[in-house]
Structure 1
Amino acid sequence: MKIKEVNENLDVIAKQKDRYKFNVSRSVGNSDRVQSTSFVDVSDIYGRVEDKNTLVRMLCESSEQHPHIISILGMGGIGKTTLAQFASKDSEVINNFDKVTWVCVSEPFDENRIAKAIIESLEGCTPNLGELESLFQRISRSIAGKKFLLILDDVWSDDYKKWEPLHHCLKNGLRGSKILITTRKESVAGMMESIGIIAVKEMPNEECWLLFRRFAFSGRSQEECENLEEIGKKILNKCKGLPLAAKTIGSLLRFKKTREEWQNILDSDLWELEECEKDIFGPLLLSYNDLPFKIKRCFTYCVIFPKDHNIEKDYLIKLWMAHDYLKEGNKVMEIVGQEYFDYLASRSFFQEFKKDDDNNIIGCKMHDLVHDFAQFLSKNECISIEDDGLKDPIINSSYHEQVCHLMVTIHRDYSFPNSIFSLRRIHSFLCNFEDSSDQLAPNILPKLFGELTCLKALTIGSMVKWSANVIEDIPKEIGKLIHLRYVNLRALIVRKLPEELCGLYNLQTLDISDCEVLEELPQGIGKLINLRHLENDGVWSLRYMPIGIQRLTNLRTLRLFVVSGGGGGGGTDNKACSLEGLKYLNIFGELRIAKLGNVSNVDEARRSELKNQENLLHLSLDFNTDEGERTNEDDEVLLEILQPPLNLEKLVIRNYRGNTILPNWMMSLTKLKRLTLSTCMNLKHLPPLGKLSSLEYLYIIFMWSLKMVSNEFLGIESDGTSSSFIFFPKLKTLWLYNMFEWEEWDYEITRKGEKEDDITIMPSLVSLTILECPKLKALPNHLVQNKALKKHIAGCPLLGYN
């Protein structure tokens, strides 16, 4: 009804606009943001000395770029402008330039206003010019023969078309001229082609305290200061290293006379304080308003996680996807989610990034004040609560009616909050157990699933990989949650999933990772026609994949595919999907094929058409088996047939029984960066891996029959010929482990017509690890002579490392 009323009002307004012939104006008014200046009393600046010294050094050093561009990057209120002011007043900077010019840019990026401001600073008067061409000509003449420093504070626009003409006219100054910008957006620093970037971090607590007490304790007696110091330091913790917050809250406390008033500030949430809403959240609001509408929703949703929570990026994106936040025409939702995450990260809404071995971001945190700001914006639509057993966290709150997305942390020995059953409209329920041994009472989940029927996202498994949870049964009532799109059952100790799960036709993600005792997937899994992600990494107990899996044509993620043992696998003949079923899927990212030794018909493997999985980047081939021993030749034939796509970046071969690893396709993997050969028991010679042009990481583990590494490892033929002068050109890390019979590692470099000095081996190697190779006698010369190489060697007594 409210929406209907709003629409009727809009219709009336539209009719009045037409009646009175109002025109829609697209002009942009003047910014009402506070204009910054270069004036500052450096004695009032606390901390930032190290950052200032780094910036001064960058401003005064020579550079090939002309003019040299430096960026100061950070979230609103972190102190970017103060750092620029601090450095601009340094005597070394002042003496290094003929002219220092300060322009507050803000939004919009008005070229005329900026050009006039630059001229006014250079010449001392405002030019009476209207054309942009004339203004730029004037700037070019004014800086001719001068070494200048131009500081552009608070730059928001990353539109290169607006920046390019100004940049060109600034090239007329003397070499050594610099441009310093401050911005919240990483894209601005990139667009301006910054040579140096200073990412401003939170202030250390002791420096923040000095700034805080300057304002909070101003005008107080020594006795008052001592009396309030302890509580003041507790209040300072709310600032989390943000100078603007320390200054704002300190200024607020200056007029609070009694300890009780200070205690009230300590007990209050920041969004409840009017001064904080204006002065602390104001700068953050500018960043928020700069976001596209759809990304604003994604940002405020993040407040469902408690403060200081490690947010897993992939988990967050799948939650966004479950709530339709990522729909953009025909674009792939997962790609849109990655773009949205990167957008927020580049604008300092996230911090403390966690990265994988390939330097890809896999997790992050939110600054506490950014979290407070998001809570302020969400109006308690998204909340996280803790059940501490003292009071009901929902009923005793003022936000019962607003809650749409909830994360609850259950502490040990406390009962499940009954008030949650009354939240029938919530769309997200994320249950976080403080201890992995905690579990819900048997009647909780059936009741929960029966009441919260609007849920789109459900987590009752672990939020962190490798953390177990003792929930042993998923009740059939889960089938009532027909709107579910995301289900996290990660690390539960369930042996079987209910068939009712297969009635959740809207389901996009099913996460059963690390459910280490789960033996079967539901037979009706083929009904989940919208399933995009089956996260089943670490479910080693699976006996087979149900035949319906091959009907999931929307499936993008399948971490583990288990080859059935056929008649010997517990009567799975008619229920199991064969390896051939992979050809019906389009797998993205990574796939591990386990129990390849169960393949009884190589034609089945050939029909899997693995090489056509163009979006598969990481492949693991595990040749273990449920059956008895197989012949070495079986594995060699199977490996040849299982040709991966040519754009593969990571390959793992485990439990391989062949005598050689040299399929015809291996040397064609020109994009392969990581290779692991593990537990290849019969392998006596390593393949010619030195030919792999993109290989960066190589791990060789448990080669119990290997005695010698020689020319074949590099790719030099037995007659000494080779097509290459450089072997392992990009290899950075080499790991050799548990090779108990390995004795010799030497190359007989006898290339026809070439000298040994013409051969280059592993020029990029930075890390070498050799563990438990007790018979290895010596290292090759290229490793001994590499003094910069970081070596970790143990369990190799003949090399002098016990």
Structure 2
Amino acid sequence: MAEALVSVVLQQLASITLEQIEEEVNLVFGVDQEVQNLILHLQAVQGLLQDAEERQVKEANVKNWLYNLKDVSYQINDVLDEWNTAILKHHMEKQEKEGENNDLVLAKRNKVRFSIPSFLGNILIYFGQIGDRIIMRHDIAKRIKEINERLTWIAILRNNYNFQSTVRGTEQVERSKTTSFVDVSTIIGREEEKKEIIRTLKSESGDQLVIPIVGMGGLGKTAFAQSVYSDQNVTTHFEKRIWVCVSDPFEEIKIAKAIIEVLNEGNPPINSNESEFETLLKNISKNIGGKKFLLVLDDVWNPTESNWKPLKQALKNGDKNSRILVTTRKNNVANMMGETNDHMINLNKLSDQDCLELFRRIAFFDKEKDESKLFDEDIKNKIAKKVDGLPLAAKTLASLMRYKKTKNEWVAVLESKMWELEEVEQQVFQSLLLSYYDLTPDVRRCLLFCAVFPKDYEFDRNELIECWMSQEYLSMKGNREKERMIGQQYFDNLVMRSFFQDFVKDRVDDDIIGCKMHDIVHDFVQFLTKNECFIMEVAESCKEKNILVDNKVRHLNIMSTCDDSFPVSIYNCKGLRTLVISSWELPPIPSDSFSKLKSLRTLKLGKNSIKEVPESIGGLIHLRYLDLSRNKELYKLPDFVGNLFNLETLRLKWCRGLRELPVSIRKLVNLKHLYILGCYDLKVPKEIGRLRNLQILDCFYLKDGDEDDEGIFKLGDLGNLEQLQGSLYIHNLKSAKDGSEAKNAELVNKKNLLDLALHFGHSAEANLKNEEILNGFQVHTNLESLAIRNYNSTNLCPSWMMSCHNLRRLEFYEVPFCGVLAPLGKLPSLEYLEINGMVSVKKVGVEFLGITGETPQTLIKSFPKLKTLKFETIEQWEEWEGVEEEDSKITIMPSLLYLEIRFCDKLKALPNFLWKTPLRELSFSYCSILAHGFETRCGMEWAKASQVQNIKINGKFVKKD
């Protein structure tokens, strides 16, 4: 971490030259020489830091030396950031006083908005022009001198440790394609255990069994349980399947809520709070009444009989042949929860042969070279010895080796001194350390940042990248425009190195957008960040009420607090850069809280029931990331939020009570990401249009009656946000004035806007203005995903839609007045199509396929890349027309894998062309006529579908034997 931090600070300081500060040198007490000394000292230690980082694991003195170096580097970073902010603030105040028009303000601001490495040449010029800034200038000079004195001593002390110099080459992280990632879905070496556990799950014992899966860390208990959970023999046997991550501590209320949320199909429990455990238990008992369910409680550590038995009793209301799987490292947990050892599964270490097979699949995945050159018997024996039967160790080591191209590189890894470290607490840490030190320094610190989040935390890729941005982890080259792209490269790199697991894929391009961290990997990053990253959990008894937080902490997560007080001990952390408060029941935050935490870059206060933003937040001049999401009682943001000149990310998602944003938001000239999804009543001020750096605006709610309010941001004002990218959801389009507003939004110029959702709002009758507005939009041909909702006109094919040659996903919801489908088969890149709520459609004809009535002269492909097709709630639909058999020049849906039809009760038959597709799964729900032939497994439809692997009726697979 120190290596990357020193590189950033050096780049900041490198912009200071004697020529740039000569004019003011006499007024700043020789700051030119002080700056040069800072550069020299940092350069002197830079090449030694790789050796120092590796040695700190076993040498406490080296670790302490590194801490002092990082501490002084943070101080330099703070000083430079304060100086830059002062210049920016002065410039903005000057422009506001002069009353210049918006364009001139923004143009001038863009000249000042530069990366830190380019700003110091202008510092003294600006402060020299203003007499009342001299005090600040001298204060900065004094602090630089004090920092230099400390750094001088640190640089001298390096000689005590005989560090070896390491010169790094130019390293560049390649962004790997998701398809090249090895996700070993087949569990290697656990076939017999899997057969045994599935037999137990399906047995008709008449008793509700608890089946513990027990084994040491790194053995793959969770992966094994996931394999069982998703096996088709299991999915067809149980009516309900529920997966809950438990971890430490065992919180029965949290577990109960998670169970209810799954039973309610993703909706949280209604009318309950954490003090109403009995209400939650009754809710569980009611929802599972008489149903055969499978519940997995993953990673259980420390339950007591008093907090497990009430849950277990509520679960007994399900069918007697329901099952509960528990994964744990502890035999005493298995004994207490299961009450018997009869069905316990003890996972042992894998055999050398199985470990080597797992290693081989990952290390040589997608490689054309002859693996025998690297994978000879000697290498195999060394690998088997190192991983010692632990799947996680094998996976981590293989993820490292796949980037080594010669046998010498492999041997160097296997003979590394890292394997001899006695200080490493767990065996699998050794392979993790090797992989960790093989990362570039900047990727390492991105990984270590994850230590501030608890075990089983569900990382959202974009949120994590924005947090990395706020810590300035992604701007090493001074190129702020490419930070998100760099962040995605780093994230993918950590995925490829097996530091993340349990992936969530993007619905459009199948990229990994969410993940978790294995609990041992989490232990590992906490091991490396001890004292710097801290998770505070206060016991219910409040005995730890006054728990002290080490003043070395840089990243803090408060998971729980006492009901009556805020943990004031965090004020000792003067250098704190990240504060995450995860407690649902947060005591009132003192108004001056953040005045004592001035170095904060990242502040997450989501889900805390905050009613008012503390005024002291306005003084956090370094703050880049502020998350206030899901504070439903937060009604407004105060004006002083506009003082956060460096703010880049503002998250307000699901602040349902939020009514307005302050006009002062116009001063957030560095704001790149604004999230307001779920803020249905929020009025966005027109000043948002002045934020020309804004890249992400996740949604935009138009309001009825606001068209004449000149102070409100309108649809046409989107045209001012030229940098918009990613996803955009526009709600209540029926309130737009006319089609010209849609045209003025200038979506056609937003080439990086890839995902667009257009919601027109509810209406009881057809509305021709909907069609005018839809036609008014023009989108860039780069668009990859489009959703149209609540569209109340009869024509659903704007002229621009057929030009969307890169469109991969298309969805229509609630289009009640349109009776004919558009010729969507002509879209060349479409992979996913969902049509929902087109209640006027009676027939789906050849026009849907994009095929004219003329005999084709050349080969025609309709829906050439379509993989998934869904129809739902098309209540009048009776006929799905195909093409004549002799039309051999027409190919229809040659890539189709999944077809789902729901609530189409009048549909009589499927077209013959479907049986020529590579269809793998066919699903019907509430389609009585269609379903009949498949349920009885007779008739022409059943015979035609003989090649379909999986057929599902009303949620249950139909057995084909």
Alpha-carbon separation, structure 2, partners of 1:431 and 1:570: 39
Find 2:471's aligned residue among 288, 308, 323. Answer: 323
Percent identity (aligned): 37
Alpha-carbon separation, structure 2, partners of 1:517 and 1:561: 16
Kindly indicate whether residue 522 of structure 2 is the aligned counterpart of residue 380 of structure 1.
no
CA drift at 1:185: 5.7
Cα pair 2:790 2:815 within 8 Å, conserved = yes
Alpha-carbon separation, structure 2, partners of 1:411 and 1:722: 74
Residues 332-373 of structure 1 show CA distances to partners (whole Å, capped at 9, x for unaligned) of 111222222222222232233333434322233333333333
TM, length-normalised to structure 1:
0.65
Report the counterpart of residue 926 of structure 2 in structure 1. Answer: 795
Find 2:674's aligned residue among 512, 529, 534. Answer: 534
Report the counterpart of residue 446 of structure 1 in structure 2. Answer: 591
Report the counterpart of residue 480 of structure 1 in structure 2. Answer: 619
Alpha-carbon separation, structure 2, partners of 1:336 and 1:27: 19
* Matching residue's letter, 1:453: K
Kindly indicate whether residue 298 of structure 2 is the aligned counterpart of residue 298 of structure 1.
no
Gaps of 5+ in 2: 1-145, 170-186, 194-216, 221-348, 364-371, 385-393, 408-417, 933-953, 955-961
Kindly indicate whether residue 914 of structure 2 is the aligned counterpart of residue 774 of structure 1.
no
Residues 28-76 of structure 1 show CA distances to partners (whole Å, capped at 9, x for unaligned) of 9xxxxxxxxxxxxxxxxxx9745999xxxxxxxxxxxxxxxxxxxxxx9
Kindly indicate whether residue 721 of structure 2 is the aligned counterpart of residue 581 of structure 1.
no
Report the counterpart of residue 73 of structure 2 in structure 1. Answer: none
CA drift at 1:535: 1.5
Report the counterpart of residue 101 of structure 2 in structure 1. Answer: none
352-361 or 783-792: which moved more? 783-792
Report the counterpart of residue 655 of structure 2 in structure 1. Answer: 515
Alpha-carbon separation, structure 2, partners of 1:530 and 1:429: 21
Gaps of 5+ in 1: 18-22, 29-46, 54-75, 91-101, 106-113, 122-147, 156-180, 195-244, 249-272, 463-468
SS at structure 1 position matched to 2:712: coil
Find 2:665's aligned residue among 525, 548, 556. Answer: 525
Report the counterpart of residue 408 of structure 1 in structure 2. Answer: 558
For the structure 1 residues 630 and 429, does the alpha-carbon distance in structure 2 shift closer, same or farther, using more than 3 Å as the test? same
Kindly indicate whether residue 519 of structure 2 is the aligned counterpart of residue 368 of structure 1.
yes
Residues 478-514 of structure 1 show CA distances to partners (whole Å, capped at 9, x for unaligned) of 3222221111111111222222212211101001112
Alpha-carbon separation, structure 2, partners of 1:718 and 1:89: 59
Alpha-carbon separation, structure 2, partners of 1:701 and 1:387: 48
Cα pair 1:328 1:336 within 8 Å, conserved = no
Cα pair 2:451 2:525 within 8 Å, conserved = yes
Kindly indicate whether residue 829 of structure 2 is the aligned counterpart of residue 694 of structure 1.
yes
Residues 221-264 of structure 1 show CA distances to partners (whole Å, capped at 9, x for unaligned) of xxxxxxxxxxxxxxxxxxxxxxxx9x99xxxxxxxxxxxxxxxx
* Matching residue's letter, 1:593: I
For the structure 1 residues 600 and 579, does the alpha-carbon distance in structure 2 shift closer, same or farther, using more than 3 Å as the test? same
Residues 593-615 of structure 1 show CA distances to partners (whole Å, capped at 9, x for unaligned) of 22221221432322222111000
CA drift at 1:585: 2.6
Cα pair 2:872 2:904 within 8 Å, conserved = yes
Alpha-carbon separation, structure 1, partners of 2:742 and 2:400: 47
Find 2:695's aligned residue among 556, 571, 580. Answer: 556
CA drift at 1:449: 3.0
Alpha-carbon separation, structure 2, partners of 1:624 and 1:789: 36
Question: Bigger relative contact order, structure 1 or 2, given CA contacts below 8 A and separation 6+?
Answer: 2
For the structure 1 residues 785 and 403, does the alpha-carbon distance in structure 2 shift closer, same or farther, using more than 3 Å as the test? same
Kindly indicate whether residue 872 of structure 2 is the aligned counterpart of residue 725 of structure 1.
no
Report the counterpart of residue 570 of structure 2 in structure 1. Answer: 420
281-290 or 761-770: which moved more? 281-290
Alpha-carbon separation, structure 1, partners of 2:844 and 2:764: 28
Question: May I ask how many residue pairs the two structures share in their alignment?
Answer: 582
TM, length-normalised to structure 2:
0.54
SS at structure 1 position matched to 2:665: helix
For the structure 1 residues 559 and 723, does the alpha-carbon distance in structure 2 shift closer, same or farther, using more than 3 Å as the test? farther
Alpha-carbon separation, structure 2, partners of 1:716 and 1:484: 56
For the structure 1 residues 24 and 416, does the alpha-carbon distance in structure 2 shift closer, same or farther, using more than 3 Å as the test? closer
Alpha-carbon separation, structure 2, partners of 1:621 and 1:519: 22
Alpha-carbon separation, structure 2, partners of 1:575 and 1:608: 15
Alpha-carbon separation, structure 2, partners of 1:89 and 1:354: 28
Kindly indicate whether residue 498 of structure 2 is the aligned counterpart of residue 348 of structure 1.
yes
Residues 388-425 of structure 1 show CA distances to partners (whole Å, capped at 9, x for unaligned) of 1445658545x522111100112685643232344343
Cα pair 2:863 2:893 within 8 Å, conserved = yes
Report the counterpart of residue 794 of structure 2 in structure 1. Answer: 659
Cα pair 2:554 2:576 within 8 Å, conserved = yes
Alpha-carbon separation, structure 2, partners of 1:646 and 1:193: 44
For the structure 1 residues 582 and 50, does the alpha-carbon distance in structure 2 shift closer, same or farther, using more than 3 Å as the test? same
* Matching residue's letter, 1:673: R
Report the counterpart of residue 285 of structure 1 in structure 2. Answer: 433
Residues 172-199 of structure 1 show CA distances to partners (whole Å, capped at 9, x for unaligned) of xxxxxxxxx99736475377699xxxxx
* Matching residue's letter, 1:321: M
Aligned CA RMSD, in angstroms, stands at 4.2
For the structure 1 residues 149 and 690, does the alpha-carbon distance in structure 2 shift closer, same or farther, using more than 3 Å as the test? farther
414-423 or 696-705: which moved more? 414-423
Report the counterpart of residue 643 of structure 2 in structure 1. Answer: 503
SS at structure 1 position matched to 2:402: helix
Alpha-carbon separation, structure 2, partners of 1:601 and 1:361: 39
Alpha-carbon separation, structure 2, partners of 1:393 and 1:507: 34
Kindly indicate whether residue 841 of structure 2 is the aligned counterpart of residue 706 of structure 1.
yes
CA drift at 1:796: 2.0
Kindly indicate whether residue 457 of structure 2 is the aligned counterpart of residue 309 of structure 1.
yes
Report the counterpart of residue 317 of structure 2 in structure 1. Answer: none
Residues 690-733 of structure 1 show CA distances to partners (whole Å, capped at 9, x for unaligned) of 11111111110111221211011001225566875221121111
CA drift at 1:580: 3.6
Cα pair 1:484 1:504 within 8 Å, conserved = yes
Report the counterpart of residue 164 of structure 1 in structure 2. Answer: none
SS at structure 2 position matched to 1:569: coil
Report the counterpart of residue 189 of structure 1 in structure 2. Answer: 402
Cα pair 2:823 2:847 within 8 Å, conserved = yes
Alpha-carbon separation, structure 1, partners of 2:904 and 2:836: 10
Cα pair 2:749 2:780 within 8 Å, conserved = yes
Kindly indicate whether residue 812 of structure 2 is the aligned counterpart of residue 673 of structure 1.
no
Report the counterpart of residue 740 of structure 1 in structure 2. Answer: 875
* Matching residue's letter, 2:698: R
- 1:450-465 mapped onto 2 (5 Å cutoff): 450-462=595-607
Alpha-carbon separation, structure 1, partners of 2:168 and 2:874: 73
Cα pair 1:394 1:419 within 8 Å, conserved = no
Cα pair 1:643 1:665 within 8 Å, conserved = yes
Cα pair 2:396 2:498 within 8 Å, conserved = no
